[in-house]
Chain A
Amino acid sequence: MATTTSTDSGGVFSFDHRDMMVFILVMSLHGLQSMITELLPEFSVGGLGVSIGPFWFVAMSVVLLFRSFWACLAIPVGGIVFGEILIGDFSALGAVEGLVVITTSWFFAMSLVTDPSDVKQIAAVGFLAKAMEETAAWFIDVGKFYVGVEELEAISWLPETVWATEGMGALIQIVVAGIVFGAVPTLFLYPRLRGKIEPLLGMRSAGGRDGPMFTRSSLKRLVAWVGLLPVAFAVETLSETSGGLITFTPEFVETYGQTFLFVPIAAAALIAFGLVAYRQRKVEGGV
């Protein structure tokens, strides 16, 4: 049986043992890739720190072979688990951004595949997914500067510099990760994997479809990509709203002195201590 293809709208998010296999496969491979490329100093040229981009061809080939929602989700999850949590370099809120941006970008790009035996189309679609992802990350990174730097606009040329440098970074990523380590190796890897790896997992190759590349379900996914970008950004900059709440307090601070801050904390601590001590005694007394 084929895996869920991009065309059937019902059951795209359902989860059976085939999806589980694909999820584990993509997660392990992409995770291992991100860990290796993040850690090996051998791959930086001299002391210049020109690091080699991630091996995106792994994700491109495997995800586009199976083309399910869970395969898309497995890309960021693999990166987070292997490249961040296990190493210890976990960017909690940044990880949510990656989860949303990468998954939606790939989920959209995947729906454009009409002929899975056409390697060029596959490579182009994979490149598009990477480009969408980096563009989204560009806007989010610049937004972070606007939130995190006080009076960014007041310093001449700083906003332009931020836009330009982050944009250059995104462009380099698109070229290095999208083309050099993405689309080009995919051209060689994908045809060698297709038809060989699916039987190993007890599946048949995902089929193609007729009709135009851009269908109604593609449109829906594109809308989801556009709609979820602000969500990703909002998660990144949760601080903005909490900052608004905190700036409300200085009135109290002026009236009662700065030590007023300790009053709510002490009160909350007392209540929490009481509750926990009570529950602990009940559990330990009951046993």
Chain B
Amino acid sequence: MKYVDAVTDISIADIKVDLMRTAYDNDRALLNTFDPRVVLVWSVLFMIVPWLFYDPLPLAILLGAAFVLAALSQVSKYLLALLLFGQITNIGFFVVMVPAMGGAIQAAGYLGDNTGRVTEAIATLDPAVFGEVWSIVATATGRGIRTATTSQSVGIDAVGAVVPFFLKLTIISVISLAVFSAMSPQKLSKGMLRLGVPRQLTFAIAYGYRMMPLLVEEYHALVNSFRLRSEVPEKTGFLKWRYFYYLLKLSVKAFYPLIFNVAKRARVTVEAMETKGFSRSLGDERSRALRTEGMMVRTRDVSFVFGSLLFIAAVWAFT
């Protein structure tokens, strides 16, 4: 159980630190130094590119490149591990699921072929025919189990087919991790604003950036105050389920006071924004221009985009 403990004992504090680092400490990341519009367009482009490849080799090369980018962007290792674990279990799942499904289909097919006799048996209510029904069901089950246990090759074929698919998904996730943990949210929301995204939505990003540490802190404090005022179950039960259930109930309950606090905060925020004329500036083109002035595409941005395009072309041509 030592290994399990190592996984479950990651404390909230560790995650909080990791999270804050991901969201706030990114000035030196490579992708943060480019123009946000270029990075946005680039990332959309590179979320489409992996779908064009079907062979594992070029996809593996692209994945390697994505990892290099992630390393340059100081992506949180915790998130990367979480992502990889998810994808690997997804693939492993297919080894078991496809033969099992095949068995079920075989069994259902055999039953389907014999529906005539089964319905006849039910219609006549003859005990002798019921025996026959029983044997049909038994044969169907037997066939199903035999298929499920003997058709491992089909499972491996299926994995061969889905591995490129999951490679694509992993590449896309790693690239987006690199891009969005590297770019600072102010830059991101400015870039989106310039690309024509409504201001209500780009505001949300900036607001979330400002508020996230406060909200997380507040929620943590609420959970802690609930813990102080309540009793931990003495018997933890099988796999500590009582303890987890207790924590879960606390974390659900803590949302009640949180909702009121956030409501108060939302009102104050909107009042402050209205004082500064937010609604009036919403549809105003001059306000948009004022907020995003100073953004410029430079030659290094262009070299970044075309450099990566050439890389893709090389992968395409030489694999």
Contacts and interface: CB of A to CB of B under 8 A. Distances in A.
A269 B165 CA distance: 31
Interface size band for A? 35 or more
B51 interface: yes
A40 B15 contact: yes
A258 B182 CA distance: 34
B317 A261 contact: yes
B270 interface: yes
Contacts of B270: 17, 20-21, 24
A283 B7 CA distance: 54
B183 to A, nearest CB: 9
B266 A46 contact: no
A39 B220 CA distance: 14
Interface size band for B? 35 or more
Contact of A259 (B216, B219, B317): B317
A41 B161 contact: no
Nearest to B271: A17
A56 to B, nearest CB: 11
Nearest to A241: B48
Nearest to B313: A261
A36 interface: yes
Interface stretch (A125-133, A159-167, A206-214): A159-167
Contacts, number: 261
B262 interface: yes
Contacts of B309: 265, 269
A252 interface: no
A28 B266 CA distance: 9
Contacts of A39: 15, 19
Contacts of B102: 156-157
A58 B47 CA distance: 32
A161 B94 contact: yes
Nearest to A259: B317
Interface of A: 15-17, 20-25, 27-29, 31-33, 35-36, 39-47, 49, 52, 55, 57-58, 61-62, 70, 77-78, 81-82, 84-93, 145, 147-152, 155-158, 160-161, 164-165, 181, 185, 189, 192-193, 196-197, 200-202, 237-240, 242-243, 246, 258-259, 261-262, 265, 268-269, 272-273, 276-277, 279-280, 283
Given A28-B266, A165-B97, 15 more contacts: A15-B282, A20-B270, A29-B262, A45-B241, A55-B252, A84-B180, A87-B19, A88-B22, A89-B83, A89-B180, A148-B168, A201-B266, A202-B267, A258-B317, A265-B310
11 contacts: A15-B282, A39-B15, A39-B19, A55-B255, A57-B255, A81-B205, A89-B79, A155-B157, A181-B252, A193-B259, A242-B51
